[in-house]
């Protein structure tokens, strides 16, 4: 099914479909293919890397519908759109909203051309989803910020040459006003990374140890003490930014499971068919939800609490989808295949990996609180310590 967004966007879809067909190198399969650099060059020349960014910073100023259409047409042509990871989806939008003209001119082109790849330095070992409680310290020394602390669950730290760090720079300031958001080089800068092995056998997350790492004060986005606001912009894009492409990956995954159901002879099972129908419906809801969310992002509207709804929706869906996949393959779900290390089958990896989705980028419990309190205006959830004090009990932190 193809969404009809009217004659203007229908013409845009046809234009993009023709451009991709004409410019895509023959037999291009992915970033490992020899023709990938040529595909990347053509996209850069056409300003089709980070096209949702404003024209004045190197994008094309596309709204959410156009970006979604371009993603769909790349997927239709079986070619990946060149993306810049967290630099494109998290750092860039935050710099566009909160950065100075000098910072935008310096940081954004290097993301577009692929010179700089970023990872995220937010989570810490002792604070979970309590981002305001970070203990990583930043000390102003002349014209530099000197940072010391530890971060954890850092995706892609092995591939990044920059990290965006939330650190405490104003120790006497009130909570939420004592943090700063700084861009820091990763290499030869007092930063050590260590891989964390996950239960699916992968090592996609890392611990990051920061020992007096340095960055110029000109790399502080939004100014000293204003890091909380910048971080909320980043998290809004992290929680809602997948809207552009999420449904495409989930749809491919869905049809792969349908094929597996056929291979196992489960495609005629009424219960399996019902579960698969549910999964397909959820993917389509994500598609329409994504179009609405992207339209807001494209006009440079700062992400609001509704981004938590997107994150909650896809993470809860993925966890249930992993369980459905286990049901489809039955007893085979209990036996790992032969192989080096901790070998797992495709659907075992899907199931195991899906358990993390309701934890990273803010737990589902945190997302529900944000939706309830900031989107629906419901009363704040009372703290346990306040409840105990109210009835005369004692509480220790």
Give catalytic residues, as residue numbers: 238
Between the CA atoms of 187, 193, 199 and 201, what dihedral angle is there, to the nearest 10 degrees?
A: 50
Spatial separation of the C-alpha atoms in residues 218 and 104, rounded to whole Å: 11
Which of 82, 93, 157 lies closest to 119 in space, CA to CA? 157
Which of 367, 397, 293 lies closest to 52 in space, CA to CA? 293
Spatial separation of the C-alpha atoms in residues 199 and 212, rounded to whole Å: 32
Which of 256, 372, 371 lies closest to 308 in space, CA to CA? 371
Between the CA of residue 264 and those of 267, 326, 338, what are the distances in Å? 8, 12, 20
Using DSSP, state whether 395 is helix, strand or coil.
coil
Which residues sit opposite 191 in a β-bridge?
210
Which residues sit opposite 310 in a β-bridge?
none
Residue 58 backbone zone (phi > 0: left; psi -120 to 50: alpha; other: beta):
left
Spatial separation of the C-alpha atoms in residues 361 and 122, rounded to whole Å: 10
Spatial separation of the C-alpha atoms in residues 73 and 35, rounded to whole Å: 19
């Amino acid at each position: 099914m193809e969404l009809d967004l009217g004659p203007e966007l229908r013409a845009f879809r046809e234009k993009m479909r023709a451009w991709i067909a004409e410019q895509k190198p023959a037999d291009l399969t992915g970033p490992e293919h020899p023709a990938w650099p040529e595909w990347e060059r053509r996209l850069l020349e056409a300003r089709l890397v980070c096209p949702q960014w404003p024209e004045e910073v190197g994008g094309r100023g596309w709204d959410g519908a156009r970006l979604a259409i371009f993603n769909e047409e790349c997927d239709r042509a079986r070619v990946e759109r060149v993306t810049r990871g967290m630099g494109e989806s998290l750092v860039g939008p935050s710099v566009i909203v909160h950065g100075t003209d000098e910072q935008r001119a310096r940081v954004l082109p290097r993301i577009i051309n692929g010179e700089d790849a970023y990872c995220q330095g937010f989570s810490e070992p002792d604070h979970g989803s309590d981002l305001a409680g970070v203990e990583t310290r930043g000390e102003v020394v002349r014209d530099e910020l000197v940072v010391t602390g530890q971060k954890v669950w850092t995706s892609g730290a092995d591939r990044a040459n920059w990290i965006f760090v939330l650190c405490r720079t104003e120790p006497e300031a009130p909570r939420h006003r004592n943090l700063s958001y700084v861009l820091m080089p990763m290499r030869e800068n007092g930063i050590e990374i260590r891989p964390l092995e996950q239960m699916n056998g992968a090592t996609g997350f890392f611990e990051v140890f920061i020992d007096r790492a340095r960055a110029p004060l000109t790399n502080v986005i939004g100014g000293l003490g204003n890091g909380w606001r910048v971080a909320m912009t980043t998290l809004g894009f992290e929680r809602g930014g997948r809207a552009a492409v999420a449904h495409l990956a989930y749809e491919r995954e869905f049809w792969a499971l349908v094929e597996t159901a056929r291979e196992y002879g489960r495609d005629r099972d009424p219960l399996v068919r019902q579960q698969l129908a549910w999964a397909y419906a959820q993917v389509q809801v994500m598609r329409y939800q994504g179009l609405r969310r992207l339209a807001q992002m494209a006009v440079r509207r700062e992400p609001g609490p509704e981004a938590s709804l997107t994150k909650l929706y896809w993470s809860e869906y993925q966890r249930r989808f992993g369980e459905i996949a286990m049901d489809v393959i039955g007893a085979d779900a209990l036996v790992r295949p032969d192989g080096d290390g901790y070998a797992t089958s495709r659907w075992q990896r899907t199931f195991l990996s899906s358990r993390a989705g309701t934890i990273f980028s803010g737990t589902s419990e945190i997302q529900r609180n944000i939706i309830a309190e900031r989107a629906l205006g419901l009363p704040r959830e009372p703290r346990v310590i306040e409840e105990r004090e109210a009835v005369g009990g004692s509480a220790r932190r």
